[in-house]
Structure 1
Amino acid sequence: MQTRIAGTTMPILEVTLSPGEHLIAEGGDVSWLTPGFGMETSTRFGSGGKGGFLSGLKRALGGGQLFLTDYTAPPQGGFVAFSAQLPGSIRELRIDRADNFMVQSGAYMCSTPDVEISVGLQKKLGAGIFGGAGVIFQRLSGDGTAWVQLAGEIVEYDLAAGQSMLIHPGHLALFRAEMPLEFASVKGIKNKFFGDSLLLAQVQGPGHIWLQSMTPAKLAAAIEPYLPEKPSSTSFGNDS
């Protein structure tokens, strides 16, 4: 298996597979591929070879899809390509028993068959932060390789034992799963629209964290004023 990441602002992940090799991805996320690939969709994929429907249900609760697709390379081999959904970058993660990761919901792109994708953390943070939807992290575990898409520019930090950092939850893109994570209300700071106290994620070292400069919520808020207004409903019939 060989990979190539092409592009800059909206990168492409191209994965070249040898005959018979497998790659797991969420259904419908593939952008293009060479002919001959076998494709099978099931709930059992993405569970690291352990479990079926219940594993898929846990994945769905973590913000992922219930069904994943297995792409099997044909006898001559071939490649599949995935496009980033937001401006940013694509990172490769090597996963084993000692290296598990927590990634923001929606960041997972694809993985080798023995990687398990499950719900890692769900937190209701109130309307002032995420429109009432809260924040969800998926856990990547098992044994293999996964690729994730992170939004905007990426800044990485190594936190030593005893060190911690306060982060807006939307900017915490990826962190090592063994790092403790709590949510703290910052006193004296009020949300200008909803009056909620500002809640920040507090990550404790030791471990590595990846922070993203862009969040989907802030991007949506930035472009919303430029979107065409939805047409109002029109009633038909004769006026009396």
Structure 2
Amino acid sequence: MSNIDPFEVVESEAIPGAVLEVVQYKALKGSDDLDVAEKVFFANQAEIHLKMIRVKLDRSELLIEPGALYFMKGSLQLESTTQGGIAKGLMRKFMTGETLFQSRIKGTGEIYLEPSFGHYLLFNIDNDALVFDKGAFHCATATLEVSALMQKNVSSALFGGEGFFQTQVKGSGIVVLNSPVPVSELLMYELAAGEKLSVDGNFALVRTAGVSFQAEKSGKSLFQSVTSGEGLLQTFTGPGMVWIAPTQGVYNKMKMADSIANLSHPEGSMGTRT
């Protein structure tokens, strides 16, 4: 049996005591089941890679969602925690969709989380906070606090498409989020104070906590908003950074019947769900 690492590192972030990596198999070699082998063949042809989050701890700690652990080796201990107490845990669960309990792995060793064909985002934040969609959290160094954040205005809660609460991580450390698109297809905008970014759809993934969010009419009046065909827009106002995934909506449409024909001759839509 070969000891050669079968993975290639796609992305990596490090802080004292922890290295978090997105690793992927260079290619899957197939299966003894012909149906599975056929799917593996097309996945390889389309360059769709099986990925995992690999974490190397050195007398440090990692927070993960329960059930996310795949395997680990070393002097490591796994325990459950509400991270901040029952009250904060309940708030996180019922308001953002995250679990009440989180698993904490501490010690020295190597951790692998559940494999996926999906995509991951790594953020190394320094005394800052990130706000993101419900269910996007994957794991984080235990130096970060994961909590629920209530929308600051009624328009964003009722018409922004994100609900009354989103998830926030704050502090200093590394957080890994699930992404609907590859990292290379994301756009990051740094907004100056008072500068706006308006998005017709629910594809703004992450923002720094200093960016305010609300749903606004696309025109100066309701009549202009209706006749413009855009309806309500998700509006982000600086200062801070916003990450958006313009291709997310395209991939969602491609899952539907007659998707290619509709994309070839789009009729336009009001992308922000209400």
TM, length-normalised to structure 2: 0.63
Mapped to 2, the partners of 1:168 and 1:224 lie a distance apart of 20
Aligned residues of 1:27 and 1:67 also touching (Cα < 8 A): yes
Aligned equivalent of 2:149, options 111, 120, 141 = 120
Aligned residues of 2:143 and 2:173 also touching (Cα < 8 A): yes
Q: 1:221 to 1:135 in 2, by over 3 A?
A: farther
Deviation at 1:10, TM superposition (A): 5.5
Note the alpha carbon deviations across 1:108-165, whole angstroms, 9 max, x for none. Answer: 1111223111112455546xx86xx747421111333222232212111111223101
Mapped to 2, the partners of 1:225 and 1:135 lie a distance apart of 32
Provide the aligned C-alpha RMSD in A.
Answer: 3.1
Moved more, 25-34 or 100-109: 25-34
Tell me whether 1:178 sits opposite 2:178 in the alignment.
Answer: no
Higher RCO (C-alpha under 8 Å, 6+ residues apart): 1
Tell me whether 1:52 sits opposite 2:85 in the alignment.
Answer: yes
Structure 2, unaligned runs of 5 or more? 1-17, 25-47, 219-224, 259-274
Tell me whether 1:62 sits opposite 2:87 in the alignment.
Answer: no
Deviation at 1:62, TM superposition (A): 1.9
Mapped to 2, the partners of 1:95 and 1:26 lie a distance apart of 22
Q: 1:154 to 1:82 in 2, by over 3 A?
A: farther
Mapped to 2, the partners of 1:138 and 1:162 lie a distance apart of 24
Mapped to 1, the partners of 2:165 and 2:251 lie a distance apart of 18
Aligned equivalent of 2:109, options 68, 78, 90 = 78
Q: Report the 3-state secondary structure (helix = DSSP H, G, I; strand = E; otherwise coil) of the residue aligned with 1:142.
A: strand
Q: Report the 3-state secondary structure (helix = DSSP H, G, I; strand = E; otherwise coil) of the residue aligned with 1:91.
A: strand
Q: What is aligned with 1:5?
A: 22
Q: 1:22 to 1:204 in 2, by over 3 A?
A: same
Q: What is aligned with 2:194?
A: 162
Tell me whether 1:188 sits opposite 2:217 in the alignment.
Answer: no
Q: What is aligned with 2:32?
A: none
Q: What is aligned with 1:204?
A: 237
Mapped to 2, the partners of 1:83 and 1:189 lie a distance apart of 47
Q: 1:147 to 1:89 in 2, by over 3 A?
A: closer
In the comparison of the two structures, how many residue pairs are matched?
204
Tell me whether 1:38 sits opposite 2:72 in the alignment.
Answer: no
Mapped to 2, the partners of 1:63 and 1:209 lie a distance apart of 22
Aligned residues of 2:214 and 2:235 also touching (Cα < 8 A): yes
Tell me whether 1:14 sits opposite 2:45 in the alignment.
Answer: no
Aligned residues of 1:90 and 1:147 also touching (Cα < 8 A): yes
Identity %: 20
Q: Report the 3-state secondary structure (helix = DSSP H, G, I; strand = E; otherwise coil) of the residue aligned with 1:188.
A: helix
Structure 1, unaligned runs of 5 or more? 46-50, 192-196, 227-240
Q: What is aligned with 1:90?
A: 121
Task: Name the aligned partner's letter for residue 63 of structure 2.
Answer: I
Q: 1:121 to 1:149 in 2, by over 3 A?
A: same
Tell me whether 1:138 sits opposite 2:167 in the alignment.
Answer: yes
Task: Name the aligned partner's letter for residue 55 of structure 2.
Answer: V
Aligned residues of 2:122 and 2:174 also touching (Cα < 8 A): no
Deviation at 1:71, TM superposition (A): 1.0
Q: 1:86 to 1:57 in 2, by over 3 A?
A: farther
Mapped to 1, the partners of 2:201 and 2:99 lie a distance apart of 22
